[in-house]
Structure 1
């Protein structure tokens, strides 16, 4: 299927560079250009603007490749992050620059990226043909895709341009006849990718189905060991850099909890044993958000409108401020900023017996936030836990800095909206 011109990264890069970096330079510096008297300040400013817009467009391209997220949400955080990096470089090396030019360029960059993402979303709705056999019918409940049912009379060789972005089939179903196999082979020859149903479901939902995760697939879920080391370093740097703000918020939250519990003398922190990397126990810290003796009858999953949660506890759960003490766990090496949420021992023992491959989520360090948290929220029963585990497996399989950055952005969004809080 012919791609829209705007879907090509090179087109967006060139257009963005011309609009954001070159256009304001021509308008503001035209006299200097004509007189051949270009200043170092102007050169530095154009280079800074060019670097910022190129990095922003590439960053948005990488962040929006993951499923189940609205691309518009990533625009402002991406631009702010890139602008901060470029600003730090200018200040550290004491390079002269034009504030007026960079201000105009920044506004144009913001408008361009928003408009670009609007156009991109409008032209990138996938049209996927599917063979109506086996598990393909289960894909039809996935939104933002135009599904077209194929028939045996479909002749891919008769199309100069295939009308689909892709074709999907349940390649393991016994009902897939030789006639269908020949049609799928011809489709691939004509240049349209043919995918198995499991690949498509994973890429569109951000979940890796547990029931199809056989032993010979586990090798694809091994996280990058080099990124594990880099991730540990980044966690430490982020905590050190954000410490002043985090400590201030933590002291305020602790003071309110202390005042709230002034009559029952309950501790400010909730301390509990959780399962970490490799299935090892560690002590996890949280701000107390529930009433005293909330788990007197044993460990229980949080539910919607949980009566055990205090009024202020509900607020810090929605904003995720109750997780701030876990920065201590990250510094100790028990946790990471991003990863699967650590579970209680009772739940882990139960899920190990009832959910296949549940232990595999412990191959990486648990996190304060994670892909399952920002995509699904809290789980209140075993069925929801299975869905969250599919998100965890997707995270482990796609373990990367790009996915972690996207989770950070969506975590901020979650803190502002209270998504998934219980």
Structure 2
């Protein structure tokens, strides 16, 4: 019976048009070739061989890096791919240009810039042309808790009414594999779907993909089947953090001096203060921050209301745009923090949260960050209910710990810096 079912986008021309091959076979030649044409013809190919090769190689590598990054980021919920095409392509071409400048290799700026514009046009065209086809179409088996998935706009979810797909091709079937009320004929249906190479997902996997959160009733392994994040990326990320912090330090020092002066003028007290926090592998450390509260006012370890009288006038501004976090670049240089990761909590709060979530300390398996997956999706959270949601985001980040998720968090953080989302 497996021949009765067919997976969506499984035909050869669909795989070709919607996959990476169309970028390599069609998009890359266009992006490389079109900028080389001017009103006099193919004048670009009259340049010296090394100039031609370097320019073509830079455009090709930047284009491939953009394509791979955008495809990987599209897997994560709330990725808002259209908003990230320009920054992703821009960063890829800036890195290519910087590499050429650093190595002092010859290239043509006009053709490289033309490749950048052509890449933007190609990716935007591909996004808007394939948006309807890339929206996942999922069939829901009507037993257990699958009904709770209905109502999302990220996917086209359809509840099945009979043991048949009704002639509709789906990307996958979603079932509550632990449902006690699932009849034998529906279990046979799931087996036939698998034989037809139609993926069958447990509801928990799809719920995580739709919400960007991992339920915390028990620990969940990552994509490699282990609780440990990939150790290679843990080490590589530490190197990238250190290098990026060194490069950014000369640019941030003048801004930090300005913020420190303004904080001192606004209210009495030190410009900087140190907060004891729990960090990587549950080790305590002192986190640097600009003071945003009055020095002589006492209060709780966290803010319970939006209108906290302890916050100064300047403090509200630097909190909104995350300027109070700038000194944490020194924590990054010391290896205590990363640019991206779960926000570090104080020891007292960690003990309090572990009363409700015994494995709360699992979030310390990666370095804490200045920004993170929870911050860009939820914002500030201090109460128990909000902290539970925040922890679900943190566990999702740890489970999907990767370069691609970090890139997405970076792009979302840039948006937050201009909107002040989630500040308090």
Alignment TM-score, normalising by the size of structure 1: 0.90
Name the counterpart of 2:240.
234
1:176 aligns with 2:176: no
Q: Matched residues in 1 for 2:70 and 2:57: separation?
A: 20
Equivalent residue, structure 2, for 1:21: 32
Could you tell me how far 1:32 is from its partner in structure 2?
A: 5.0
Question: Does the alignment pair 1:124 with 2:134?
Answer: yes
Q: Distance in 2 between matches of 1:37 and 1:286?
A: 56
| Structure 1 vs Structure 2 CA RMSD | 2.4
- Partners in 1 of 2:316 and 2:277 — Cα distance? 22
Question: In the superposition, relative to structure 1, how do residues 383 and 304 fare at CA in structure 2: closer, same or farther (>3 Å)?
Answer: same
Please give the alpha-carbon distance, in whole angstroms, between the structure 2 residues aligned to 1:64 and 1:273.
37
Question: Counterparts of 1:214 and 1:192 in 2: how far apart (Å)?
Answer: 25
- The structure 1 segments of at least 4 consecutive aligned residues displaced by more than 6 Å after TM superposition are 214-218
- Aligned 8 A contact 1:278 1:363 in 2: yes
> Which residue of structure 2 aligns with residue 199 of structure 1?
205
Residues 136 and 336 of structure 1: is their aligned pair in 2 closer, same or farther, counting only changes over 3 Å? same
Aligned residue among 391, 394, 400 for 2:393: 391
Q: How does 1:299-310 map to 2 (within 5 A)?
A: 299-301=301-303, 303-310=305-312
Instruction: Indicate whether 1:272 and 2:282 are aligned.
Output: no
Aligned to 1:352: 354
Structure 1 residue 320: deviation in Å? 1.0
Deviations 1:69-97 (A, max 9, x none): 21123222212221122112222332222
For the Cα contact (< 8 Å) 1:128–1:147, is it kept in 2?
A: yes
| Corresponding residue SS for 1:286 | strand
Matches within 5 A, 1:140-289: 140-151=150-161, 153-156=162-165, 159=167, 162-213=168-219, 220-261=226-267, 265-289=268-292
Aligned to 1:111: 121
Alpha-carbon distance in 1 for matches of 2:223, 2:107: 53
- The two structures have a TM-score, normalised by structure 2, of 0.90
Deviations 1:257-281 (A, max 9, x none): 01101xxx21111322111122222
Number of equivalent positions:
412
Deviation at residue 298 of structure 1 after TM alignment: 2.8
SS in 1 for 2:150: helix
Structure 2 gap segments, 5+ residues each: 1-6
By how many angstroms is 1:216 displaced?
11
CA contact (8 A) 2:376 2:413 kept: yes
